[in-house]
Amino acid sequence: MGWTATFQIPLLLSLSFHAGILLLNSFTQNKNYVSNTIIALVLVLFCLCIYQPAATAFLIPITIFTISKKKLLVKHCFYLVAFLFTSLIVYYIIFQLSLKWYNVMPADRTALSLFKIPYKLILFYLRELRMLMYGSGILVLKKLTLIIGIISFLGFFYLLIVKKQHRYKNLKFFLFFSLVLAFSYTPNILSSSYYVCSRVIAPAAIIVLFYQFYFFRHLILKKKLNKKIGVFIALLFIILSSINQNIFISKIQQTEFLAIKESVNQISLENKKDIVIIKPKDSFLIKNKFYKNNYADEFGQVSSSRIWVAKPMFQQLLAERKNETPLKLNYKISTINEEINKPVKDSIIIDLRYVLKNAFK
């Protein structure tokens, strides 16, 4: 929920989107190329320094403009590619300098994997793009939403490309609308990590959603699709989004936090030095049959299953007990994944698996 609470990703998507508008103004008005490019570069670099996958949202307004105007210049495509990779190179230099300045080691997934690019590019179209076809139905009504997603996605290409007569123009548009999806996922394709979730694929998801919207809009305007059916499909995905957010995230994390808070408030902290937390596994809710489906680390999972969550959570809960606990006490909090066979002297052992099983019954 931290991503939502801080509004980090939507903010960065908006900033990068604005960078795309600046670049688009340069294309359409044929002026302020240098100033717009510099400002756009600064905005994209800012996004890259905070959350890399959101930085490619500058491609979204340009894609929408290309769809609406049905106009595409090859030189602008090369300009966008050059802008994207210039941003990535400058960011990589900043990243390496910051590592040396702060004398820290980077995470494994920050490593570049240039030799894996062809494989990850193919994987994007086979895995990530397939995931986007489900839309909000990734957890509920998967078959129905997959059918709707595939038909509307392919329908977009049929309307915009296949029905046109000019072969060169068809090929040019097909390449642009196909490759822009992969370019919007560039930071992840370059990374050595194979991790995927809704957050990292957000720019591509927005582009795919617009493709599908364009298709349904065309059908409704041409009266090939009843407006009531169009409204029903839109409401269906809105309702599914609400279910995903409220049932598979908010409800789970509220239940989890209240249960852990209650357990922390019940323990005695006198003459104790350490707190040892036994965390649940990622598939805790599925394994114990509390939920049937989950997705990435966002839906249908308890947050305390992540190694980096439990410790700050307990630190916050302990801080809220400051009236009872002397502030000078500095508890050492550690997180483990397995059972403790022998009691640890002067330690409090909290098994979150037991706590959460009782909470989700």
SS3 at position 329 = coil
Q: Are residues 115 and 16 in the same domain?
A: yes
- The answer to whether residue 350 scores a pLDDT higher than 90 is no
Q: What pLDDT score was predicted for residue 273?
A: 64
The beta-strand segments (E) located in the chain are 274-278, 332-336, 347-351
Top mean pLDDT of 87-91, 98-102, 131-135, 137-141 is at: 87-91
Domain end marker among 225, 241, 274: 225
Q: For 235-277, how does the pLDDT look when each residue is reduced to its tens digit (9 = 90+)?
A: 888 898 888 888 888 888 889 888 888 888 887 766 666 778 8
Share of the chain above pLDDT 70, in %: 86
Q: Are residues 204 and 342 in the same domain?
A: no
Q: For 298-331, how does the pLDDT look when each residue is reduced to its tens digit (9 = 90+)?
A: 788 888 888 777 778 877 787 777 665 544 445 6
Amino acid at 10: P
- The answer to whether residue 221 scores a pLDDT higher than 70 is yes
Mean pLDDT, rounded, for 18-30: 88
Is residue 292 assigned to a domain?
yes
H-run or E-run covering 274:
strand 274-278
Q: Do the bridges between strand 332-336 and strand 347-351 make them parallel or antiparallel, or are there none, so unpaired? A: unpaired
The position carrying tokens 């407006």 is 227
Mean pLDDT, rounded, for 215-224: 84
Range of the domain at 326: 266-360
Distance CA 47, CA 273 (A): 41
Tell me the CA distances in angstroms from 160 to 67, 133, 172, 210, 303, one per residue in order. Answer: 8, 19, 11, 13, 43
Total domains, the chain: 2
Q: Are residues 302 and 194 in the same domain?
A: no
Is residue 247 assigned to a domain?
no
Q: Are residues 167 and 308 in the same domain?
A: no
Q: Are residues 19 and 73 in the same domain?
A: yes
- Provide the mean pLDDT of the chain: 82
Q: What pLDDT score was predicted for residue 295?
A: 76
Is residue 244 assigned to a domain?
no
Q: Are residues 165 and 273 in the same domain?
A: no
Is residue 250 assigned to a domain?
no
Q: Are residues 205 and 273 in the same domain?
A: no
Q: Are residues 219 and 279 in the same domain?
A: no
Q: Are residues 281 and 184 in the same domain?
A: no
The position carrying tokens 């072969």 is 167
H-run or E-run covering 350:
strand 347-351
Is residue 157 assigned to a domain?
yes
Amino acid at 221: L
**Residue 341 backbone phi and psi in degrees, to 5:** -80, -35
The position carrying tokens 């239940």 is 255
Q: What pLDDT score was predicted for residue 328?
A: 46
Tell me the CA distances in angstroms from 275 to 245, 258, 310, 314, 321, one per residue in order. Answer: 32, 19, 11, 9, 15
H-run or E-run covering 301:
none
Q: Are residues 128 and 217 in the same domain?
A: yes
Taking alpha carbons only, the member of 94, 96, 91, 114 closest to residue 106 is: 96
Mean pLDDT, rounded, for 26-35: 82
Mean pLDDT, rounded, for 139-165: 83
Domain end marker among 198, 225, 252: 225
Distance CA 268, CA 334 (A): 18
Q: What pLDDT score was predicted for residue 327?
A: 44
Q: Are 23 and 36 a contacting pair, CB within 8 Å?
A: yes
Give Cα 190 distance to the centre of its chain: 16
Distance CA 116, CA 133 (A): 25
Distance CA 171, CA 114 (A): 27
Q: Are residues 286 and 138 in the same domain?
A: no
Top mean pLDDT of 53-62, 107-116, 189-198, 252-261 is at: 53-62
Q: Are residues 123 and 43 in the same domain?
A: yes
Give Cα 12 distance to the centre of its chain: 12
Is residue 242 assigned to a domain?
no
Q: Are 230 and 216 a contacting pair, CB within 8 Å?
A: yes
pLDDT band at 294 (very low <50, low <70, confident <90, very high): confident
Is residue 255 assigned to a domain?
no
Domain end marker among 225, 257, 285: 225
Is residue 318 assigned to a domain?
yes
The beta-strand segments (E) located in 175-314 are 274-278
Instruction: Indicate the pTM of the whole model.
Output: 0.84
Joined tokens for residue 267: 């323990």
